[in-house]
Chains A and B, each alone.
Chain A
Amino acid sequence: MVWNSFSEFLAMGGYGLYVWGSVAATALVMALEPVLLARRQRTLIAQIRRQLAADGRSTGQAPRSRA
């Protein structure tokens, strides 16, 4: 263990802004990208389901060839 106290850890020997700025950017990207992707997938599935339900009501069951 190289740190004596938590505040020393935060200060990073005077480089706190740079080290934590990098960490924050990385954490932000790596948290946001999967969240956005999961949302994209969810909306896509919901949209296709709605479309399938609508198709099913109107034509019985024949699937559409290409949306």
Chain B
Amino acid sequence: MNNGLLNWFKFASPQSFYPLAGKMIPWFWALAAVLGAAGLYIGFFVAPTDAQQGEGYRIIFLHVPAAWMSMFIYLVMAFWAAIGLIYKTRLSGMMASALAPTGALLTLLALWTGAFWGKPMWGAWWVWDARLTSELILFFLYIGFIALQAAIDDPRRADKAGAILALVGAVNIPIIYFSVKWWNTLHQGASVSLSKSPSMATTMLWGMLLCALAFWMYSIAVALMRVRSIILERERGTEWVRQRLTSAAR
């Protein structure tokens, strides 16, 4: 994705981005695997036991990266949506739609791991904690985006309508987050904080960072795979697709 941004003008057309994405995907997979292996090794074998939460805190190495990425992907999605609206580049709209399902899945993962963390720590699978609740709302926003695009048959209209929704959502996320936080502090006292244990050892932080980077690379790889499918679907009638697919290459 960063490459796409640097060479933006050269690779803004789906036709030239399609092969480029194909070349980049293995690299992002490799990065994701290496970073993930390192992060999980640190997280599960090197990082010491937490004084308060015992071994249960090790969920942090999956939960926090998933939560971070779920929020980050929405912002990236809104960014591509804005670019698509302003510069009318077709690729950016496809990028936004390619990111949404991955973002929704990561939100789901953050909720799932949050529940599996909350159960031993809070004694309940679900607590209306400010962060969990905002994450749930973020999931609804993703679902709304995907549902809206699925309901529109014309891809160009789907891109534009999705872009407006993504931007409205991005503007609203901080408002929603702060109101949920306010609501939470009004209704219940401070509970065990999930991601901020006071004695966060440096090794823990490193494990978390590496895992977050691995999740990031994973998201890019998966989004590129999906954007390739979207490009093919939309451009299936064009000459370059015909040439590409009738020659032996993928």
A45 interface hit (Cβ, 8 Å): yes
Which interface class (under 10, 10 to 19, 20 to 34, 35 or more) fits B? 35 or more
B238 interface hit (Cβ, 8 Å): yes
Contact of B229 among A3, A9, A37 (CB under 8 A): A37
Q: Which of B116-124, B159-167, B173-181 has 4 or more CB atoms under 8 Å from chain A?
A: B116-124
- Taken residue by residue from 45 to 62, chain A's Cβ proximity to chain B (1 for < 8 Å, 0 otherwise) reads as 100110110001000000
Q: How far is the CB of A30 from chain B (nearest CB, A)?
A: 6
Q: Which residues of A contact B (CB under 8 A)?
A: 1-3, 9, 12-15, 18-19, 21-23, 25-26, 29-30, 33-34, 37-38, 40-41, 44-45, 48-49, 51-52, 56, 63-67
Q: Which residues of B contact A (CB under 8 A)?
A: 44-49, 54-56, 58-59, 62-63, 66, 102, 105, 108-109, 112-113, 116-117, 119-120, 218, 221-222, 225-226, 228-229, 232-233, 236-239, 241-242, 245-246, 250
Q: List 18 A-B pairs, Cβ < 8 Å.
A: A1-B46, A12-B56, A12-B58, A13-B55, A18-B56, A22-B63, A22-B113, A22-B117, A25-B112, A26-B62, A29-B105, A33-B105, A44-B229, A45-B232, A48-B241, A49-B246, A63-B239, A67-B236
